[in-house]
Structure 1
Amino acid sequence: MASGKQSLVDLTGLDTLRGLLAVFVVAHHARWLCWTGQAQWRMTEHTWLPSAIANVTAVFRYGHEAVMVFFALSGFFIHLRAAKQFAVERQCERLNVRRFTKRRLHRLAAPYFLVLFLTFVLDSIGRHSFPSLYVGDTGNALLDQNFSGGNYSARAVIPGLVMLPRSLGLTFGSNGPLWSLGYEVVYYAFYPLWLMVRRHSLWFAYLGIPFICFVIAGLSLGAWLPAVISHWPIWIAGAGLAEWLMLRNHQISRRGGGTQALPKRDVAHWRNRFCLYGLALTVVGFAGCQISQLPMAILLSYAVLGCGCVLSFCTLPTVIGGMKFFSAWQFLGFRSYTIYILHFPLLALMAAPYFQAGGPPSDGWFALAAAIATTLICVAVFELCERWFVHARIRVESRPEPT
């Protein structure tokens, strides 16, 4: 990179986003499993400070929206390399499907299968010692519905072993959040075909295919594969954002002298502008998720929300992105995959004794402690397994600085 110049897009901002999303999902599930709930909590009087804290935690209800942002983020990262080629050359080289598949498996498989094993171990302990939660006998209708749908029958285990959890309708044990990884695996499988379409027709790739997917969503078929396909436009939207940003980066750099790196003053101007665009899209997308009734409108809102979050974080002004606060979240972002796929069975085992005794505590301190403990355990498991399978950039950047 030329001295004094830098790129418009800063990928470390997306590592920050991944960390925030992963911890947000942990907090969402800790609030659900390890706290009696806001409605019941309000039945007794509290002083202003606990009331204020409880009201603030209401933001963690939106765990599903966080997963939708993960979809857009995945599409952005997977398509980024091709997006750079499209921006510069108006075309990209053919994808080496074998290399792409091998790279995805190398990145995802080992931590995933370790988590399946750990889920089985944790669930075995819980089912033997504190069975009420695991057999769906807590009296909480939503919890009982979710846990009764998970077991270790062939319909649950076989899809889990081929990295398509819940594809036959049952969850692998207690680990319900793995459903989104099954969606991602399908999107990875679709990507070579989608990229081939994109190489021949930008409009059909970004409008035709999503329209077909939205039509499938409108049919409300209910089966697993139609549900996966109906969410694919969110992933495609992330890929489209990557292309748009790389094209804008190339166009702006040509005005500044033809290099891919931009003068710092230009970077600051465009990052500020694009970050504001991203924040606006985030607000519009989130509002759409809450007020929309039609499945197509909800999915479109998810796509807007996801792209808004990705755009705002990858164009964070340098003065903000360089703060130590964001460095901490980048640390967790490097470890977000393990945090996401492992956290739920850990939280379930922590909550199970309370449900066996009648229910979780009414105050939220146990939920906070469980979320922190779960995150720390996941970080330790990352060091044991995932660290050795991450891509080179993450492996280098997540290594502690020498003292």
Structure 2
Amino acid sequence: MVQARVKTATVPRESRFSPRLTASLDAARACAAFYVVAHHVANATGHSRGIFMFGQEAVLVFFLLSGFVIFANERDRALRPRGFYLRRLRRIYPALLVAMAASTVVAVDNGALARSFRWSELLGSLFALQDNTALKPGVIVEPYLGNDPLWSLSYELAFYAVFPFALRLWTISKDGAGHLIGALSCASYVAYALAPNHWSLVGAYFLVWWGGAMAANAYLEGERSFLAMRPAIGWLAALCATAALTALLSGEFKSFSYYPGLPLRHFLVALLMLALFFGPIGKSLSQIAPRLKGSAAFLASISYGVYVLHYPLLIQSKRAGTTFGWLSMAALLLISSCFADRWLSRALPRAPVD
């Protein structure tokens, strides 16, 4: 899930987004978050086919948007890692802790806490080690109390941890850093295929996030073609080929919903999104976004809270089992998301900029 808000007043002048792009990013973030909600509700009600079957793709949107916005907002400041890490932790953890508290309350209310609680899940989710064992091997720990959407936060936090170092290499040699990151990501996926483990898989997925970052760099340099993102595009294509070869050689490929098909699906979707949306199609869609500026900005401002809170409140809670109960929990979701994503972010002390 994207954990960065677009800011036009506090970033360096050369990193400022146009109002049209800001509206487009807000709209994309809001649509992706609420689509994930619709996807999980559809799954819970047995209507997961059709237009609501692409929840995984929505998470890939988050990764790409996160790379885009973080690079544009932090490309000068992240070279001083202390402030960057504090800003990211301040953004991530308040809503995460609220979501974990909500999961605990729901489990107590459902009478399921004693049988569902695991210290490993609690600590693993706090230290960003969680992922979904049903979809891939090598997972360290499941998300706390089964709040499945939290899986993506372990990837996000790992991407943030690596970014200042990748950025420093990029400032020394843009192409050299791009080739090194691409090669390491492909090598990480090979390592994962040989010995499945969380860190190798995260290392492979970093190239997706970096693709979003390189899209931001191309945009800020005035480019409007995905070809300007070389070598990120080339290495992402190579990662797709690596995942495809791995799937074929494994003899275990049965579906794009599980490993080894799922990572291939993710990498292909990321490549396709960069090619489609960083070009004429993206430009056409950006013409629509400004019309939705006000509503998109508000929904985007609570999208992270909606993402981390909707699963326990709408899917796991027994009180969401009736129409009235579900609507009541949906209202609670919006209120708690405003609290976690808007009020807390304003109430907490600011992290240092320098």
Query: Residue 162 in 1 paired to residue 111 in 2?
Result: no
Query: Residue 230 in 1 paired to residue 204 in 2?
Result: yes
Give the structure 2 partner of residue 18 of structure 1: 29
What is the SS of the residue equivalent to 2:110? Answer: helix
What is the alpha-carbon distance in structure 1 between the residues aligned to residue 270 and residue 119 of structure 2? 34
Q: Is the 2:313–2:330 Cα contact (8 Å) retained in structure 1?
A: no
104-113 vs 381-390, greater mean Cα deviation? 381-390
1:300-355 deviations in whole A, cap 9, x for unaligned? Answer: 3132244357647974566522324x64333211110000011111123346886x
Using a 3 Å threshold, how does the CA distance of structure 1 residues 106 and 188 change in structure 2: closer, same or farther?
Answer: same
Query: Residue 36 in 1 paired to residue 10 in 2?
Result: no
Query: Residue 323 in 1 paired to residue 291 in 2?
Result: yes
What is the alpha-carbon distance in structure 2 between the residues aligned to residue 304 and residue 217 of structure 1? 16
What is the alpha-carbon distance in structure 2 between the residues aligned to residue 248 and residue 353 of structure 1? 48
Q: Is the 2:35–2:55 Cα contact (8 Å) retained in structure 1?
A: yes
Alignment match of 1:62 (pick from 31, 40, 54): 54
Using a 3 Å threshold, how does the CA distance of structure 1 residues 297 and 118 change in structure 2: closer, same or farther?
Answer: closer
1:368-403 deviations in whole A, cap 9, x for unaligned? Answer: 994x665543321133232134479xxxxxxxxxxx
What is the SS of the residue equivalent to 1:10? Answer: helix
Query: Residue 241 in 1 paired to residue 215 in 2?
Result: yes
1:251-296 deviations in whole A, cap 9, x for unaligned? Answer: xxxxxxxxxxxxxxxxxxx7xx99xxxxxx9xxx9xx99x967467
1:243 Cα shift? Answer: 0.4
Query: Residue 334 in 1 paired to residue 326 in 2?
Result: no
What is the alpha-carbon distance in structure 2 between the residues aligned to residue 331 and residue 191 of structure 1? 28
Gaps spanning 5+ residues in structure 1: where? 39-56, 84-91, 136-150, 250-269, 275-280, 355-360, 393-403
Give the structure 2 partner of residue 76 of structure 1: 68
1:60 Cα shift? Answer: 1.0
Using a 3 Å threshold, how does the CA distance of structure 1 residues 73 and 319 change in structure 2: closer, same or farther?
Answer: closer
Amino acid of the structure 1 residue aligned with 2:316: L
Q: Is the 1:73–1:306 Cα contact (8 Å) retained in structure 2?
A: no
What is the SS of the residue equivalent to 1:322? Answer: helix
Amino acid of the structure 2 residue aligned with 1:237: G
1:9 Cα shift? Answer: 5.9
Give the structure 2 partner of residue 260 of structure 1: none
Give the structure 1 partner of residue 83 of structure 2: 99
1:99 Cα shift? Answer: 0.8
Give the structure 2 partner of residue 344 of structure 1: 311
Q: How high is the TM-score relative to the length of structure 1?
A: 0.63
Give the structure 2 partner of residue 387 of structure 1: 342
Give the structure 1 partner of residue 350 of structure 2: none
1:174 Cα shift? Answer: 1.9
Using a 3 Å threshold, how does the CA distance of structure 1 residues 309 and 20 change in structure 2: closer, same or farther?
Answer: farther
What is the SS of the residue equivalent to 2:79? Answer: coil
What is the alpha-carbon distance in structure 2 between the residues aligned to residue 160 and residue 24 of structure 1? 23
Amino acid of the structure 2 residue aligned with 1:79: F
Number of aligned residues = 296
Q: Is the 2:320–2:329 Cα contact (8 Å) retained in structure 1?
A: no
Give the structure 1 partner of residue 11 of structure 2: none
Q: Is the 1:68–1:306 Cα contact (8 Å) retained in structure 2?
A: no
Query: Residue 198 in 1 paired to residue 166 in 2?
Result: no
What is the alpha-carbon distance in structure 2 between the residues aligned to residue 183 and residue 71 of structure 1? 9
What is the alpha-carbon distance in structure 2 between the residues aligned to residue 391 and residue 302 of structure 1? 35
Amino acid of the structure 1 residue aligned with 2:180: G
Query: Residue 126 in 1 paired to residue 98 in 2?
Result: no
What is the alpha-carbon distance in structure 1 between the residues aligned to residue 141 and residue 99 of structure 2? 20
Alignment match of 2:146 (pick from 161, 169, 174): 174
Using a 3 Å threshold, how does the CA distance of structure 1 residues 66 and 385 change in structure 2: closer, same or farther?
Answer: closer
Gaps spanning 5+ residues in structure 2: where? 1-7, 9-16, 132-138, 227-232, 248-259, 348-354
Q: How does 1:336-375 map to 2 (within 5 A)?
A: 336-350=303-317, 370=326, 375=330
Give the structure 1 partner of residue 3 of structure 2: none
Alignment match of 2:160 (pick from 181, 185, 188): 188
What is the alpha-carbon distance in structure 2 between the residues aligned to residue 388 and residue 244 of structure 1? 34
What is the SS of the residue equivalent to 2:222? Answer: helix
What is the SS of the residue equivalent to 1:377? Answer: helix
What is the SS of the residue equivalent to 2:288? Answer: helix
What is the SS of the residue equivalent to 1:11? Answer: helix
Aligned-pair Cα RMSD in Å? 3.7
Q: Is the 1:71–1:306 Cα contact (8 Å) retained in structure 2?
A: no
Using a 3 Å threshold, how does the CA distance of structure 1 residues 317 and 211 change in structure 2: closer, same or farther?
Answer: same
Amino acid of the structure 2 residue aligned with 1:28: H
Give the structure 2 partner of residue 112 of structure 1: 96
Structure scoring higher RCO (CA < 8 A, sep ≥ 6) equals: 1
Q: How high is the TM-score relative to the length of structure 2?
A: 0.71
Q: Is the 1:9–1:315 Cα contact (8 Å) retained in structure 2?
A: no
Q: Is the 1:156–1:171 Cα contact (8 Å) retained in structure 2?
A: yes
Question: Percentage identity across aligned positions?
Answer: 24
Query: Residue 152 in 1 paired to residue 163 in 2?
Result: no
Higher alpha-carbon Rg? 1
